[in-house]
Amino acid sequence: LQLVGKYIQPETREVNGVLMTKIMSDNWDKIWNFQAKPDDLLIASYAKSGTTWTQEIVDMIQNDGDVQKCQRANTFDRHPFIEWTLPPPLNSGLDLASKMPSPRTLKTHLPAQLLPPSFWKENSKIIYVARNPKDCLVSYYHFSRMTKMMPDPGSWEEYIESFKTGKVLWGSWYNHVKGWWDAKDKHRILYLFYEDMKEDPKREIQKILKFLEKEMPEEVLNKILYHTSFDVMKQNPMANYTTLPTILMDQSISPFMRKGMPGDWKNYFTVAQNEEFDKDYQKKMAGSTLTFRTEI
Ligand code: A3P
């Protein structure tokens, strides 16, 4: 119970201006000094941008479309989430990563400026996935309601403000997507968009294949397409987080595989909220070449 107490609706604290859980911030030295390896593959994203989807695609590619192998463990045990710190004896991301044989595939939500520098030094490959802010916000809001491992989102109105001002875990969405967008010009980063994946998943899987320097027969590619579709992943207990106890994620409040559709934000934003959001967005994204589609 004491363990659970530290874990449920955790205290938060900033690390270099970016909000994290207190337990992550207490562990920050270890996270920052994480030793990446040249053959690590890192899947990076802002929360709720299609991380789990990308993880499933990558795992299916690495296992040549073998569904059974991809069901060997939960998403979160297949790919250590490096900064995610849990009270012992639970496995933190760093513990899982250190026990995992190479080549490893890892996950992070850290903004580029807080990525452990060994990833840059070792030139590990990185796949970044970004999602338009309105759908990301809606997804993050519902996720924050159902998971007890994150701060309570408050009301919808309050949450829009928290998101816009970056007062949510992993900080500002705007700085996150821009920071990684700039990083891709200097490092081996494949920068993907959730909306592109939804529009033409085959094309995007082919981009990942090329980035991973792999080829595969059309039939395997089609199998991967099928098994990483929203409807199939929603039914896959090794991908949909339903193996976690209700005390950590209450999927009756909102399922992890919730909607999986670009444009769902229209069901939540009022006209006024949308206008204000757009105005603020223009300010925060001014000068960047990065653009998003809020529907497809
Ligand atoms: P919604 O809440 O909008 O449905 P992450 O994995 O980064 O936490 O992102 C979760 C979001 O990705 C959720 O969005 C989830 O439904 C969506 N998602 C997961 N798997 C998907 C898939 N195969 N196709 C489309 N969306 C998917």
Quick check: CB of 233 below 6 Å from ligand 1? yes
Query: What's the N-to-C CA distance of the chain in angstroms?
Result: 46
Q: Which of 79, 109, 142, 176 is catalytic?
A: 109
Give the closest residue (by CA) to ligand 1 atom 27. 260
**What mean pLDDT value characterizes the chain?**
96
Check whether 89 has a pLDDT greater than 80: no
Quick check: CB of 137 below 6 Å from ligand 1? no
Q: What per-residue confidence (pLDDT) applies to 253?
A: 98
Ligand 1 atom at shortest distance from the alpha carbon of 135: 3
Confidence of residue 2 (pLDDT cuts 50, 70, 90): low
Q: Is the dihedral of CA 114, 80, 208, 198 positive or negative?
A: negative
CA distance linking residue 25 with residue 19, whole number of Å: 9
Q: Is ipTM > 0.95 here?
A: yes
Give the closest residue (by CA) to ligand 1 atom 10. 48
Check whether 282 has a pLDDT greater than 90: yes
Task: Name the CATH code of domain 11-285 (choices 3.40.50.300, 3.40.50.720, 3.10.640.10, 1.10.10.60).
Answer: 3.40.50.300
| 109 labelled catalytic | yes
CA distance linking residue 251 with residue 269, whole number of Å: 23
Quick check: CB of 258 below 6 Å from ligand 1? yes
Ligand 1 atom at shortest distance from the alpha carbon of 233: 23
Q: Which of 43, 200, 257 best tests ligand 1's pocket when mutated (most atoms within 8 Å of CB)?
A: 257
Average pLDDT over residues 146-159: 96
Check whether 3 has a pLDDT greater than 70: no
Ligand 1 atom at shortest distance from the alpha carbon of 201: 24
CB 105 within 8 A of CB 55: yes
